[in-house]
Each structure stands twice: as C-alpha cells, then as structure tokens.
Amino acid sequence: QQPVQSPQAVILREGEDAVINCSSSKALYSVHWYRQKHGEAPVFLMILLKGGEQKGHEKISASFNEKKQQSSLYLTASQLSYSGTYFCGSGAGWGKLQFGAGTQVVVTP
C-alpha cells in the first residue's frame, strides 16, 4: 500500500525550515527518500533502516519511527536548490518500493 505524504505542497522562503511527513498503514522496514526536480530523474537522498534512526544529507535530515510507522524529512535553512518534489518510498526489497504521491517544495528568494 502506498505511503501517505503530507503536506502535498509547501512554499518556503530561503532560510526557512520545513517538515515533510511520510506514514504507512503497513509496517515499515525501511524508508527511502528521493528528490525530483522538474523534468529530471529522481535522485536518492537517504535510506533509514532502524527505528528512531536519523540521517542527514547536507542540511536535510530525516527520522524514522518504526512504532508509529512514519518518517519525517527535515529541510533546515532551505536553499533555492532544495526546490523539487520529495518522495518517500517503502518496501521489503531495495528496489521494489511503494512511493508516496510526493510533496512539492518551492523555495523562493
């Protein structure tokens, strides 16, 4: 079943913070985060495997709460380059993932 992402879209000014949530009704074994800029290929950001684990990519970090079956992606001190659509994916196998519908992030000057 497809993970549910929220919000669907967010508009930020440079330097502001945002949180993107990803939740599932099924048990999550791993959560994968990707970012896709318009007209480009999705790019891997990070994978989270353990409950409560946090990881980071530049000033983008994420947490994974197994018990709550949810993950959150934190965009800190956003930059213009953070604009794009963020997808979370989950699944038992590395590549056979169920992705959420995506969260569109627009960072303005």
Partner 1 sequence: GAGVSQSPSNKVTEKGKDVELRCDPISGHTALYWYRQSLGQGLEFLIYFQGNSAPDKSGLPSDRFSAERTGGSVSTLTIQRTQQEDSAVYLCASSSWTSANTGELFFGEGSRLTVL
* Residues making contact with partner 1 (CB under 8 A): 2, 30, 32, 34, 39-44, 47, 87, 89, 91, 93-102
CB of 59 to partner 1, least distance (A): 20
CA angle 85, 17, 91 (to 5 degrees): 45
Are 57 and 44 a contacting pair, CB within 8 Å? no
Are 103 and 3 a contacting pair, CB within 8 Å? no
Q: What is the DSSP letter of 65?
A: E
What type of residue is 27? A
Of the two residues 35 and 78, which places its CB atom closer to partner 1 in the complex? 35
CB of 47 to partner 1, least distance (A): 3
Of the two residues 84 and 100, which places its CB atom closer to partner 1 in the complex? 100
Of the two residues 9 and 77, which places its CB atom closer to partner 1 in the complex? 9
